[in-house]
Amino acid sequence: MTLSEYVLKRNGVPLGAKASLLKNLQNSVGAENNILFWKYWNPIWGFYLSKYIYFPLNRYLPKTISSIVTFGISGAFHDLAIGLLGLGWQNFFTIWFVMMGVFMNISKFLNISYSGFSFFIRAVINISSIAICFFLATLLT
């Protein structure tokens, strides 16, 4: 699958389309569970993480571990970007992203769904999950 095909599959609109960003935000923030939130969030980054990290890891590790490690590697790339900007190497994003990966897997294990709620409530829940993981990461760093 190419990047263009992946983005079209995730967003329902072609890569670079005028409504692409809005559709991406609506799909992700309004998702009915945390797994779907991450499925729709940043499809370009997700394509490369899936192709080069998650799927290769998944050949040797359980899906749960593969996804948590993928989140951690994504966080490490974010930490690297901060370091390259001259702000010093930090491990905050790595810890934060691992927390989000753990949260996603717990919500999957517990089969948590908020499909019965309005878009606004789903958006609050999805954004709150990121904020809670952020808060927990600040406690650990």
Residue by residue, DSSP assigns 42-78 as: -HHHHHHHIIIIIHHHHTTS-HHHHHHHHHHHHHHHH
Matching residue, tokens 């996804």: 67
Could you tell me the residue range of the domain that residue 104 belongs to? 3-140
Q: What is the pLDDT of residue 86?
A: 79
Please write the tens of the pLDDT for every residue from 86-104: 777 789 999 999 999 999 9
pTM: 0.90
Counting the structural domains of the chain, the total is 1
Please write the tens of the pLDDT for every residue from 66-84: 999 999 999 999 999 998 8
Query: Is residue 117 pLDDT above 80, yes or no?
Result: yes
Angle at 98 between CA 94 and CA 101, to 5 degrees: 140
Answer yes or no: are the C-beta atoms of 110 and 103 closer than 8 Å. Answer: no
Q: What mean pLDDT comes out for the span 100-114? A: 96
- C-alpha 93/C-alpha 108 separation (Å) is 22
Q: What is the pLDDT of residue 105?
A: 97
